[in-house]
Amino acid sequence: MKREKNKTLLILGGGYTGRVIFRQAASTQRSVLISSRNPEKHLTGIPPQQRVFFDLLLPKTWEHIPAGADLIWTFPPIPLDKVIEFIKTIQIRAGRMVVLGSTSAYRVEPARAPEIIDEKSAIDPALPRVQGEEFLRETPGAVIVRSAGIYGPGRNPLEWIRQGKIGYSDRVLNLIHVEDLAGICLRALERGKPGEVYIASDGLPRRCSDLIDAAAEIWSVQKTPSPEQINQGKQLSNQKVIKELEYLFRYPDLLQGIKEIEAQK
């Protein structure tokens, strides 16, 4: 299902991923806006006419959403009561909606071998974020894009190793470059079916130990002790994104993505 190119798109949330979605969407000549709870402070560099003051906790700001605009929601949809109230207020005048979620929604049993996770895998309904995502998926028919760990400029996995956030272990990591995540969100808005879920991952799970060995060999990054392992992680499948959204990854190789980040320093 393709969308009208001249339809206004509002990015709810001007954080790390939201800004990249905004830039990619703006490059298509589409009318694009981006929101923040403090636009003057957090949206510098973006033309004032494209900034929107929006705060989920402040209903008076909801009227700033243009009638008929498509929405890409980039922050956790919590608390649930405000999400429900918001949807009841804007549903009749909103367009399509994509919600950026997290693959932490999928349950993983501790101490088990990494499980293969796809969009049919069980989610944890006790998580507040999941409750918000599921409400948005079921009620206004939002498309949910559940993201693996996000990396890119300013979020360099080598720094995570240097800082001890990733330790030498067999735990499995699933990552996605922010440019691909943004591209998938836009493709989901254009082609995703209402109420569908898509996993955004580069499709190449890596053990922490393998990533750290590569970092030591290529960039001479010192290995760090392993943190306590809560679980072995999971292996995310990105086949639905590839087949249904026909998305072609810009950064299918994590090490190549890191090399580009390092080259931009």
Decide if 257 is inside a domain.
no
Q: Where are the beta strands (DSSP E) in 189-250?
A: 197-200, 206-207, 234-236
Mean pLDDT rounded to a whole number for the chain: 92
CA dihedral 199, 204, 210, 211 (to 10 degrees): -60
Decide if 224 is inside a domain.
no
What integer pLDDT is reported at residue 1 of this predicted model? Answer: 46
CATH number where 64 lies: 3.40.50.720
* Helix orientation angle between 178-191 and 16-26, rounded to the nearest 10 degrees: 60
Boundaries of domain holding 122: 9-155+175-202+235-250
Mean predicted confidence (pLDDT) in 66-79 = 96
Number of separate domains in the chain = 1
pLDDT at 114 over 70: no
Decide if 119 is inside a domain.
yes
Contact between residue 131 and residue 250 where contact means Cβ atoms under 8 Å apart: no
Percent of the chain with pLDDT over 70: 92
Decide if 3 is inside a domain.
no
Decide if 78 is inside a domain.
yes
Q: Please report which confidence band the pLDDT of residue 127 belongs to, taking 50, 70 and 90 as the band edges.
A: very high
Q: What is the pTM of this model?
A: 0.94
